[in-house]
Amino acid sequence: MNKQVKRLIIFNITLLAVGCFFSFTKNENNSIECSNNECQGQYVGIEFINGSDIAHQFSNKMSVKVGDKLKKLFNKGEYSQVDFDNIEMTTKGMGSGNVIYYLKIPFIRVNSKCEAYTSFDHVGGWNHKPALKARKQQLEKALMKNHKLYISELKTTPEGLEEYWIQWKNKITQSICK
């Protein structure tokens, strides 16, 4: 085999490997799937970029997906809320520069529109106590009059991620629940 053919083969193999790598990281980097029973997914990648907590932003993305799914279930008459007791949250690789952050947010069915929750959020971070008091103040304006936030117990991973998960009745979706 001549040098030109070898180079062409090596180039094609390299191109294929790079394409597979980017395809894999794109698909795995930030994937969330929701069913009628849960939302789950993982972030695989860099922890921090220029001091910004990139990995923890996965909690933000999950919160949006869960809130959207709870509203869809509500509109279909499948009244639900997050099952705080069975949330699964793991982190691997913290401190190495790269992390795998896995989340599973399960739902439980409730009997009526006004037992359901259709908004979802979180407050937390790596190796520091979450600013729960500040988040409560921020979310006060999202609440209907005489309603409260429903807040999970503090969830932690062995590697130091700490999260409170928060749900409430959405003012628009559940306006009948005054």
Query: Where exactly are the structural domains of the chain?
Result: 31-168
Res. 127: pLDDT tops 90: no
Classify residue 84 by its DSSP letter. Answer: G
User: What is the rounded CA–CA span in Å between residue 88 and residue 156?
Assistant: 10
Q: What integer pLDDT is reported at residue 44 of this predicted model?
A: 92
The highest-confidence range among 84-88, 92-96, 129-133, by mean pLDDT, is 84-88
End-to-end CA distance of the chain: 79
pLDDT at residue 54, rounded to an integer: 75
- CA 60, 85, 83 angle in degrees (round to 5)? 65
- 142 touches 168 (CB < 8 A): yes
Place of tokens 């529109």: 113
Range scoring the smallest mean pLDDT among 3-17, 36-50, 79-93, 155-169: 3-17
121 in Cβ contact with 59 (< 8 Å): no
Query: Can you read off the two tokens belonging to residue 174?
Result: 């559940």
More confident of the two residues 22 and 172? 172
Q: How far is CA 165 from the centre of its chain?
A: 10
Distance separating alpha carbons of residues 70 and 124, to the nearest angstrom: 22
pLDDT band, very low/low/confident/very high, at 51 (cuts 50, 70, 90) = low
- Closest CA relative to residue 89, chosen from 52, 126, 120: 126
Does the pLDDT of residue 110 top 50, yes or no? yes
Q: What is the pLDDT of residue 52?
A: 64
Query: How far is CA 137 from each of CA 20, 47, 132, rounded to the nearest angstrom?
Result: 45, 28, 9
- Identify the pLDDT of residue 50: 64
Q: What is the pLDDT of residues 5-41, one digit of tens each?
A: 455 445 444 444 433 333 333 444 679 999 999 999 9
